[in-house]
């Protein structure tokens, strides 16, 4: 099975598999956390996905 990000065989590295959605979803293979991180950043998958927090709102 090849890495979705770099096309290297995942078995030659420290593979990780990400399944999104249903429990029986097909896992997406990555060589390691570096490939997963690069994939997520380049695809913009976390853009706008954070909470808005400020010290002022924490004091209420």
Instruction: Calculate the alpha carbon distances from 9 to 3, 5, 20, 28, 57 in Å.
Output: 6, 11, 21, 13, 47
pLDDT at 58 over 60: no
Query: Could you give the CA distance from residue 47 to residue 5 in angstroms, rounded to a whole number?
Result: 19
| Percent of the chain at pLDDT exceeding 90 | 60
Q: What average pLDDT does range 24-51 have in this prediction? A: 90
For residue 57, the model assigns a pLDDT of 64
pTM reported for the whole predicted model: 0.72
For residue 48, the model assigns a pLDDT of 77
pLDDT tens digits for 9-36?
999 999 999 998 878 889 999 999 999 9
CB 10 within 8 A of CB 30: yes
**Residue 53 corresponds to which tokens in the numbers above?**
């927090």
């Amino acid at each position: 099975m090849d890495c979705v990000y770099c096309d290297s065989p995942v078995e030659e590295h420290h593979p990780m598999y990400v399944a999104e959605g249903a429990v029986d979803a097909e896992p997406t293979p990555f060589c390691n956390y570096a490939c997963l991180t690069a994939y997520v950043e380049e695809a913009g998958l976390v853009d706008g996905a954070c909470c808005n927090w400020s010290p002022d709102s924490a004091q209420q």
